[in-house]
A and B are shown apart, each in its own frame.
Chain A
Amino acid sequence: MTQDDAFAADLLRGHTDTIVLGVLRRGDAYGFEIYKAIRDATGGDYEIKEATLYATYRRLEKDGLVESYWGDESQGGRRKYYRITDAGRAVFRGNVAAWTATRRIIDSLLDVKESQQ
């Protein structure tokens, strides 16, 4: 992994909670669906590690931002589905607003630096 990739992966990992909430906003999903949605969105270049995701689910559930329930698959493993709660939606909206504001700041700061070089 190049240094650029590591930087991007780091940035992405910093927003795992919000990203998972964003995926769940489209509908209930189980772990692998969430993982796949993120992987597909990044074009498979940077993936968020599964271990990170499991830790995220647990934290989100403890904070009441998602709820989980077991699916009724008749064969194979039973899937644990996650559903976003009202609290989760509110936190997601807040995080998106914070991200938009921060992105603007960073964009402007980085542009300043670039023009100085």
Chain B
Amino acid sequence: MNTDIHRLLDEAFQGVEMTPDAQDLKEEVRANLMARADELEAAGATPSDAAHQAVAELGDVRELLEETSDAAPRRATDEYTALIRRHHVRPKPGFVVRTVAYSIAAVVGITLAILGASGVLPLPIGPQIGLFGMASTALGLIVGDSLSQETTTNHPMPQNRAGGYFLATLLGAFGLGFVALVAFGSLPVWGIVFAALGVIASIILFSFLGATQTNRHKAWTRQLAAATPPNRFEREPDTAARFGVYTAAIWLVTFAVIAVLVFTVGWWWAPIAFVGGFALMMLLLARMLFAPEKSDKS
């Protein structure tokens, strides 16, 4: 085990203020130096020479750290509109046309399929499934196509990944289509197997895509986010926690009220409770996120 590297690295970092950033860099450099020294030793250098040469190749580490302290963060709000204008990306006409066409296909497919399933239109089961297939494909294409577009704040998603989102949307929508067919009695209950397969595959695929998703934001958006002062929930975690508890309580009560309404006056009253719960939550959010500062009062 060659200890020269560690000694030389400590010397190189002598006099550098050990911020977490500097510590991070030191550890990164250490592993790279060791790999380089191993290579030099394999080429026939003595351990000590290898260590010295590896560190010598590195140069002055202080230069590396100076690079990071960029210019002072600009004021975010003043320049926001200017930044948006400078980085604005106009949607491509072809994309807009495609999206409109897909939307029409989706709406027509879903409408006709539901009319067929509910018996208004005399459609056999084959075309009903076909129509839902068409609508799901259209929905998937809308999702995949939008993700592979460059926007003002985001880079386009690579084709393969956008294709994954297309497939996940298609499977999920098709699965829900089968749910509708079973619900309307167009398909016997075993049709739910296809629904479950589609929806579960879609959930698995979405989870995988979500978990492996990397950054798509453009650099200017990230710098803007870094320069934006933290909001109240970030500064006061206890307020954020209270908000979470209140939200859970509101929705619990809302669903209880929905259940009561459904069993007493009828299911068409249920959305009222839902809207009420939502409005209450928005009021709570406004009250808690933008309330006057605690310290102002005391």
Contacts from A to B (Cβ < 8 Å): 30-33, 35-36, 49-51, 54-55, 58-59, 62-65, 67, 70-71, 73, 76-80, 83-91
Contact = CB atoms under 8 A, between A and B. Distances in A.
A77 B216 contact: no
B67 to A, nearest CB: 5
Interface string B146-185: 0000100011111001000000000000000000000000
A64 B31 contact: no
A86 B36 contact: no
Interface string B51-81: 0000001111001100110000000000000
Nearest to A67: B214
Contact of A63 (B32, B64, B67, B222): B222
**Contact-residue size bin, chain B (C-beta under 8 Å from the other chain):** 35 or more
Which of the listed residues A32, A62, A80 has the most CB atoms from chain B within 10 Å of its own CB?
A: A32
A86 to B, nearest CB: 4
B31 A90 contact: no
B19 to A, nearest CB: 13
Given A49-B59, A87-B155, A90-B155, A58 B67 contact: yes
State the 4 A-B residue pairs at the shortest beta-carbon distance, nearest first.
Answer: A90-B155, A77-B31, A85-B214, A63-B219
Which of the listed residues B64, B155, B156, B157 has the most CB atoms from chain A within 10 Å of its own CB?
A: B155
Nearest to A34: B32
Contacts of A35: 32, 36
A76 B155 contact: no
Contacts of B25: 54
B163 to A, nearest CB: 13
A73 B38 CA distance: 15
B31 A79 contact: yes
Which of the listed residues B60, B158, B215, B217 has the most CB atoms from chain A within 10 Å of its own CB?
A: B215
Contact of B219 (A51, A65, A83): A65
Contacts of A87: 154-155, 214-219
Given A78-B27, A79-B31, A89 B219 contact: no
Contacts of A70: 27
Main secondary structure of the interface of B (DSSP, over half): helix
A117 to B, nearest CB: 40
Given A31-B32, A62-B219, A77-B34, 15 more contacts: A30-B28, A30-B32, A30-B35, A50-B32, A54-B25, A64-B219, A77-B27, A77-B33, A79-B35, A86-B157, A87-B155, A87-B216, A88-B215, A89-B158, A90-B216
A54 B64 contact: yes
8 contacts: A49-B59, A51-B60, A54-B28, A76-B31, A77-B31, A79-B32, A86-B157, A86-B158
Interface string B247-273: 000000000000000000000000000
Given A63-B222, A87-B155, A76 B34 contact: yes
B295 interface: no
B32 A51 contact: no
Given A73-B31, A76-B34, A86-B155, A51 B63 contact: yes
A31 B216 contact: no
B158 A67 contact: no
A20 to B, nearest CB: 14
A58 B68 contact: yes
A85 B35 contact: no
Given A35-B32, A77-B31, A55 B222 contact: no
B213 interface: yes
Given A32-B36, A86-B214, A51 B31 contact: no
Interface in B78-128: none
Contacts of A63: 219, 222
A71 B39 CA distance: 20
A58 B24 CA distance: 11
A65 B214 CA distance: 9
